[in-house]
């Protein structure tokens, strides 16, 4: 699937246009441009690498972001809000009172943790100690482990429990740092969908003479002296490409 746009697989679709629905949407639905569906919906961590790159390259001049209102988890048939403030944490029924105290100690450990500073490790080897043992060190129960591993560290499986703890600790730190930036949740989303990201780069690149090749098959990557110097498409070669990007999967 290729789209004749800057977006590729990151394209955001307007449903009425995509499915050629007859007539106009009801006025109660608001403006059509406010309803976009991404083919591959993803959130951005507020302090993640992608957001940092957008800031460094100043692509953010061409983008508007919304902070996601909250993060939720499904547990035993009910939906719970992931606490984003101390007050919410104290009133949350995701864990008991004593568990909350132990969990607070765990989060303080994560916040101070520095693999380069042995004083912050508390006997934990970041490259050897499995995450399961870290949870045990703070006497965290199964419910808290599930909440931490899947809601904060965003692991999809439980494999991380028997793997070195460093990756999970970094994930939790990223979640905490991102949450601290905006308060409601750690997630950002482009106002008009993920398709705005490649379009923002397209606008920036045009200022510096960059060229976007849309819906073009790549026949050959041209290499000279071990360096990529161009790309061949439909018999034509575009030379002197310092950077090439394909927005698809």
Domain containing residue 84: CATH number: 1.10.405.10
Domain boundary at 167, 184, 201, which? 184
Given a contact cutoff of 8 angstroms between Cβ atoms, the answer to whether 93 and 132 are in contact is no
Tell me the average pLDDT across 234-244: 65
243 falls within a domain: no
46, 99: one domain: no
Q: What is the mean pLDDT of the chain?
A: 85
Instruction: Return the closest-CA partner of residue 38 out of 7, 65, 69, 60.
Output: 7
98, 30: one domain: no
At residue 89, φ and ψ (nearest 5 deg) are -65, -40
179, 88: one domain: yes
221 falls within a domain: no
92 falls within a domain: yes
Q: Please provide the DSSP assignment of the chain as one string.
A: ---SSS-GGG-EE-HHHHTT-SS---GGG--GGG--EESS---EETTSHHHHHHHHHTGGGG--EEE-S--EEEETTEEEEPP-SHHHHHH-SSS-HHHHHHHHHHHHHHHH--TT-GGGTTT--TTTSBHHHHHHHTT--HHHHHHIIIIIS--SSSGGGGSBTHHHHHHHHHHHHHHHHHSS-SEEEETT-TTHHHHHHHHHHHHTT-----S----EEEEETTEEEEEEETTEEEE--S-------
Displacement of CA 97 from its chain's centroid (Å): 31
157, 83: one domain: yes
Q: Please, which pLDDT band fits residue 124 given cuts at 50, 70 and 90?
A: very high
Q: What is the model's pLDDT at position 4?
A: 40
Q: Please, which pLDDT band fits residue 22 given cuts at 50, 70 and 90?
A: confident
180, 193: one domain: no
90, 58: one domain: no
159, 179: one domain: yes
1 falls within a domain: no
236 falls within a domain: no
78, 146: one domain: yes
77, 166: one domain: yes
For 26-60, write each residue's pLDDT tens digit.
Answer: 788 777 666 767 777 889 999 999 999 999 999 99
Q: Is the pLDDT of residue 137 over 60?
A: yes
Q: What is the model's pLDDT at position 1?
A: 28
224 forms beta bridges with 227
For 53-107, write each residue's pLDDT tens digit.
Answer: 999 999 999 999 999 999 999 988 999 999 998 889 888 989 888 999 999 999 9
Q: Please, which pLDDT band fits residue 5 given cuts at 50, 70 and 90?
A: very low
55, 144: one domain: no
Q: What is the model's pLDDT at position 6?
A: 44
Q: Is the pLDDT of residue 247 over 50?
A: no
Tell me the average pLDDT across 195-215: 85
Q: pTM of this prediction?
A: 0.77
Q: Is the pLDDT of residue 216 over 90?
A: no
Q: What is the model's pLDDT at position 19?
A: 65
156 falls within a domain: yes
237 forms beta bridges with 232
227 falls within a domain: no
Given a contact cutoff of 8 angstroms between Cβ atoms, the answer to whether 72 and 79 are in contact is yes
60, 87: one domain: no
Q: Is the pLDDT of residue 211 over 80?
A: no
Q: How many domains does the chain have?
A: 2
More confident residue, 235 or 131: 131
Range of the domain at 34: 8-68+188-212
Instruction: Return the closest-CA partner of residue 150 out of 161, 140, 165.
Output: 161
245 falls within a domain: no
Q: Is the pLDDT of residue 249 over 50?
A: no
36, 135: one domain: no
């Amino acid at each position: 699937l290729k789209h004749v746009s800057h977006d590729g697989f990151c394209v955001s679709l307007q449903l009425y246009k995509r499915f050629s629905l007859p007539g106009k949407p009801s006025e109660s639905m608001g403006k059509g441009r406010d309803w976009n569906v991404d083919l591959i919906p993803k959130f951005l961590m507020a302090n993640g690498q992608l957001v940092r790159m957008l800031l460094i390259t100043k692509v953010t001049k061409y983008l508007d972001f919304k902070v996601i209102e909250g993060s939720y988890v499904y547990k035993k048939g009910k939906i719970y809000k992931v606490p984003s403030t101390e007050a919410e944490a104290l009133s949350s029924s995701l864990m008991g009172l004593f568990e909350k105290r132990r969990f607070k100690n765990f989060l303080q450990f994560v916040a101070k943790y520095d693999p380069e500073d042995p004083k912050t490790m508390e006997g934990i080897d970041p490259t050897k100690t499995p995450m399961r043992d870290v949870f045990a060190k703070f006497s965290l129960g199964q419910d808290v482990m599930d909440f931490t591993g899947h809601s904060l560290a965003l692991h999809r499986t439980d494999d991380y429990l028997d793997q070195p703890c460093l990756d999970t600790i970094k994930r939790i730190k990223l979640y905490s740092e991102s949450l601290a930036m905006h308060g409601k949740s750690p997630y950002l989303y482009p106002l008009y969908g993920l398709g705005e990201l490649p379009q923002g780069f397209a606008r920036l690149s045009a200022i510096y003479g960059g060229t976007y090749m849309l819906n073009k098959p790549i026949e050959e990557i041209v290499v000279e002296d071990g360096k990529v110097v161009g790309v061949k498409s439909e018999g034509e070669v575009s030379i002197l490409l310092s950077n090439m990007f394909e927005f698809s999967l």
